[in-house]
Amino acid sequence: MIVEIDASALWPVFPAVILSVLLGRMVERRAHFIWPIDAYSLAIYGACLALGAAGLVLPQVPSLLVLVSALSYLVGFVAAGRRRHVNVVRLNAASRIIEAPFVVPYRKGNDWYLRYQSPREHLKNILWPETEARLETNWDMEKQWAIRMKDPFFPVPEMTGILASRMDLERHDFLRPGKRVKIKRYLPLIEVAPGDMDTPLETMFRIEGLEGAIAHSVRMGGELMRAKHVAEQRSVFTIARMLNENLWGASPIEQLRRVSEEERAGQARAPEKPRAKLFGRRRRGGDGGEG
């Protein structure tokens, strides 16, 4: 059985494939989505489904071309010239969990914004551009760490990431574009950990300084323990000598020395006796009282 293929029917396939790949790449760069679930992609899927359903009814609509174009769009979005997104990673010390939220930071002018991977949130940002989530951060998000994960059965994936020490992605306020319309606007906060702020040279110097500080602390701890041991020994000897003197008394020579010192001290402190008067005061009613 020989199947004849009309070459004239295949010529639109190649331009459709190229255009669909370029369209997927452009949407990926504009939407800042990791997977093609943004509002633009959903609109394109809806158009493809509508054309495919129309092709089942109308033979003039090439359903095969629509299917090939949709697959080419996915290839262009996921694989063709894909950018490396910034991955935000937070180490939760309380729960011992490494958190990687499903968000993508991107730069727009001199400011950083955060793209929540939600088609509803993306559609809201398209309709009201002032609701874009402007990111509040203490560091340039372009300076990232390289994250590599090795698996024996898969190639080594490499991505870039930011280690955050504090992260609040639920901060928000409300905008009122109309009297009866209230729209939520996110105000995310990401504070980068101090380790991400240092260059490798600064980190090396910090490590050397930390090692020196630890060695100095250990050395001072040893000196403190030695001084404490000497002080305890002296205290024990002093207490033992005091107990010996109080219970058993001092040596005879020491007792004689103390007695002599006490006598000399008593003589030095003794007051002088007043001198007696040569003539006493004449008493009343004495010899002069005779009549």
The domain in which residue 218 lies consists of 207-263
Q: Is 3 within a domain?
A: no
What mean pLDDT is predicted for residues 24-30? 90
pLDDT at 179: 73
- pLDDT score of 290 more than 60: no
pLDDT at 291: 39
Domain count, the chain: 3
Looking at 153, 170, 197, which one is the last position of a domain? 197
Which amino acid, 75? V
Q: Are residues 127 and 188 in the same domain?
A: yes
- pLDDT score of 219 more than 80: yes
Which residue would you say has higher pLDDT here, 282 or 153?
A: 153
Q: Is 100 within a domain?
A: yes
Q: Is 270 within a domain?
A: no
Q: Are residues 104 and 128 in the same domain?
A: yes
Q: Are residues 116 and 218 in the same domain?
A: no
Report the distance separating Cα 207 and Cα 196, nearest Å: 14
Q: Are residues 104 and 59 in the same domain?
A: no
pLDDT digit string (tens) for 91-124? 777 777 778 888 988 888 888 899 999 999 999 9
The model carries a pTM of: 0.59
User: Which segment of 42-46, 68-72, 145-149, 211-215 scores lowest on mean pLDDT?
Assistant: 145-149
pLDDT digit string (tens) for 34-74? 889 999 999 999 998 888 888 777 777 677 888 888 999 99
Q: Are residues 149 and 168 in the same domain?
A: yes
- pLDDT score of 184 more than 70: yes
52 touches 66 (CB < 8 A)? yes
Q: Is 27 within a domain?
A: yes
Q: Is 290 within a domain?
A: no
Report the distance separating Cα 119 and Cα 280, nearest Å: 127
Three-state secondary structure along the chain? CCCCCCHHHCCCHHHHHHHHHHHHHHHHHHHCCCCCCCHHHHHHHHHHHHHHHHHHHCCCCCHHHHHHHHHHHHHHHHCCCCCCCEEEEEEECCCCEEECCCEEEEEECCEEEEEECCHHHHHHHHHCHHHCEECEECCCCCCCEEEECCECCECCCEEEEEEEEEEECCCEEEECCCCCCCEEEECCEEEECHHHHCCHHHHHHHHHHHHHHHHHHHHHHHHHHHHHHHHHHHHHHHHHHHHHHHHHCCCHHHHHHHHHHHHHHHHHHCCCCCCCCCCCCCCCCCHHHCC
Q: Is 96 within a domain?
A: yes
Which residue would you say has higher pLDDT here, 290 or 32?
A: 32
